[in-house]
Structure 1
Amino acid sequence: MADITAAAVKDLRDKSGAGMMDCKKALTEAAGDMDAAMDWLRTKGLAAAQKKSSRTAAEGLVGVAVSGTKGAAVEVNSETDFVAKNDQFQSFVREVTQIALAKGDNIDALKAEAMPSGKTVEETLTNNIATIGENQSLRRARHLEVTKGAIVPYVHNAAAPGLGKIGVLVALESEASDEVLQALGKQLAMHIAAAFPQALNEEDLDAELIERERAIAAEKAGESGKPAEIVAKMVDGAIAKYRKEHALVSQLFVMDGKTKISDVVAKAGKDAGAEIKLVDYVRFQLGEGIEKEVSDFAAEVAATAGIK
């Protein structure tokens, strides 16, 4: 039997919102595996359906930039939020975002590109680590481009122009005016920041994620005691609902709670007298999917002093 620590129970409770005893039981059932324990809680209806990846788990900044029909988003991580307020760090993120805008989003290639100082991105990052005194990393980048239309940027709770903890880019293909596309793009970007879609279309949703949801739905439906054919329909219904709620074009617009995003775009195009296509988007949330280690300073001091 796995040794279930109080820290693990607390971590699961923070992630799930379930009670301490339920979390302990879930971890015991899952032999200490955190993801499996979360699935167990969700199967029993004891946890909120909250994605671990939607939680901020690292510090730093997300940068976004647009030029004409091109846009780029970059995430640079640091150890503390204090560094994100540092002018040197903010300047680095801003400059790297501009390089991604011009050169593309391959991380290895970006690291080899020259900064305005003449040093490469990687050399500058190494220097920043030495001078600021914290580990930092260029984690990811995305580049978007349309042939005709607009790339619309949005930063939620911006720390500085183009910099924040959630950055969004919306790619719209259209002959409509820039004024129309910017207004629509801003609304869509705000929706994306709030609604956290997993893919543009239902068919683009990750197959492994769908299978995991299907397994959870099957176990829940199986506990109903209903005939197998009814259980199968319940599972199919749950997956269909999941797909609609997590694909951007089929999500309900957060600003009215009833109109599908695809219909919002279609209406905007009709009103503008020119078809508008939502062809892609980027949503970077600082620290998505990174497990942040929480240190217990008092425990560290006690351990160093040999106090149990």
Structure 2
Amino acid sequence: MLSKTAETGLALPTYDDVLDAHRRIEPHIHRTPVLTSTMINELTGAELFFKCENFQKAGAFKVRGASNAVFGLDEETAARGVATHSSGNHALSLSYAAGRRGIPCTVVMPHTAPQAKKDAVRGYGGRIVECEPSTSSREAVFAEVVAETGAEFVHPYNDPRVIAGQGTCSKELVEDVPGLDAVVAPIGGGGMVSGTCLTLSTIAPDIAIYAAEPEQADDAARSFRAGYIIADDAPETVADGLKVPLKEYTWHFVSRYVSDIQTVSEQEIVDAMKLIWKRMKIVMEPSSAVPLAAILRNPSVYRGKRVGVIITGGNVDLDKLPWMQG
């Protein structure tokens, strides 16, 4: 039930779309657990509730949006297959969903993408076409793929079907953990944050929404402060899932509902990632550590509050852990 706004001209997803998405994708996803750590609570002075999408099917929250898009296609469109460009988690999530439906999936990936994510895409039956590690290169190569295959484009985040699917994550979180004061999620293109905004602005508008971003890929934070989208073509950060820029759909939600976008250094990301691995005994990727890094860097914002923290994925290359570099 998309709602087209006169202000933007965008056909925006509504909370009814989130509810429809949850019913559609339920057979194909996990309802992921919420974990806590007494030690990390003491360290931050906040009560943190980690929504563990690293335990999700395909190892990341992106399977929610990808599954909603794939299983919402009519038969004629689905028969042509789906295609996307992605640095990793959306690629393998779309491959997973397409495999479940029995349709082809082609993915344009930068040749620098983690090998673990490439292996997962191929393991789910997806076909990879490699490109240079820049937004301009991936979009150019992708245009060639669509012209060749006629496949349905499922954008990693700038797609109302994907945003509605991602909104199911925070729906589960507030159902499982009542009384939250804030939710923090990492931001790259803004799909998860947009889904969080869509859900919380409807069912829990008193919950503050914060986004967390690497300093070395801080285009969302700069956009937020400038009031318009600023896009970096090829930022470099250990948080490989957060290198992409905001687009018009995600900007709509981020610019209206996010309280702040907090940035963190590369070392703070690695330290937060190591802290979660050591204290919570769970595998998660660098992008997922950015929210905890932001909480540790901004203790006064979160102290004394009940905070939901979305751990977005666990698809890390175990042979190239960031603290093993050098």
Q: State the TM-score, normalizing by the size of structure 1.
A: 0.24
Q: State the TM-score, normalizing by the size of structure 2.
A: 0.23
